[in-house]
Amino acid sequence: MNLKEKCRILEFEDHGDDRGKLVVIEGDGYSEVPFDIKRVFYIYGSDESIVRGKHANTESEFVLINVAGKSKVRITDGNEEIIVDLDRPKIGVYIPRMIWKEMYCFSKDSVLLVLASTHYNSDEYIRDYDEYIEMLKHSSI
Ligand code: TYD
């Protein structure tokens, strides 16, 4: 499976009418998110000059959605690289375990919503790229 297939773009259904729009996200296979959602956090107040993330996770899977504003996410598996424009509230990207990610190019109004498959555990974050590449050699993913 190539990186685009692994980190697929999710397009959520838009229940829009003349009052505005509404997007529903449910975990555990009830909507496009392929895991049960254990944690939600959002990132805002970053700007064009900031790069966030720069880590991979041994346990967590994520879905990233810019519910307001825009950002980009650079994703790599140490082999291929893709860049996803998160620029609409109905678009998300799924990031499985052991994928390196960097979020950047935040618009001033960016609110980046992140859904995660686990509760927070700092021990499962790999924050050193060389260590990540080394760990991939011993990983079956
Ligand atoms: P960090 O992982 O560095 O953010 P990013 O990936 O966006 O660059 O997290 C920033 C801080 O927030 C850090 O001190 C850890 C804390 N944090 C939690 O306490 N719980 C969480 O679920 C997350 C994602 C971060």
How far, in Å, from the CA of 45 to the mean position of ligand 1?
Answer: 14
Whether the pLDDT of residue 140 is over 90: the answer is: no
Ligand 1 pocket list (CB less than 6 A): 39, 41, 43, 52-53, 120
Region 33-59 average pLDDT? 97
In terms of C-beta density within 10 A (0-12 exposed, 13-18 middle, 19 or more buried), how is residue 77 classed?
Answer: buried
Most informative mutation of 38, 43, 52 for ligand 1 (most atoms within 8 A of CB): 52
Retrieve residue 127's tokens: 């924050």
Determine the pLDDT at residue 141: 67
- The DSSP H or E segment spanning 137 is helix 129-137
Determine the pLDDT at residue 30: 73
Retrieve residue 130's tokens: 């060389």
Retrieve residue 60's tokens: 């967590």
15 noted as active-site residue: no
How far, in Å, from the CA of 133 to the mean position of ligand 1?
Answer: 22
Q: What is the pLDDT of residues 80-96, one digit of tens each?
A: 999 999 999 999 999 99
How far, in Å, from the CA of 61 to the mean position of ligand 1?
Answer: 15
The Cα–Cα gap between 95 and 121 comes to 17
Q: Whose CA is nearest to atom 25 of ligand 1?
A: 120
HSE (side-chain half, CA atoms, 13 Å) at 47: 2
How much is the pTM? 0.95
DSSP for 66-98, please give it: EEES-EEEEEE-SS-EEEEEE-STTEEEEE-TT
Task: State which ligand 1 atom lies nearest to the alpha carbon of 52.
Answer: 8
Determine the pLDDT at residue 95: 98
How far, in Å, from the CA of 115 to the mean position of ligand 1?
Answer: 13
Confidence of residue 44 (pLDDT cuts 50, 70, 90): very high
Determine the pLDDT at residue 138: 86
Largest pairwise CA distance in the chain: 53
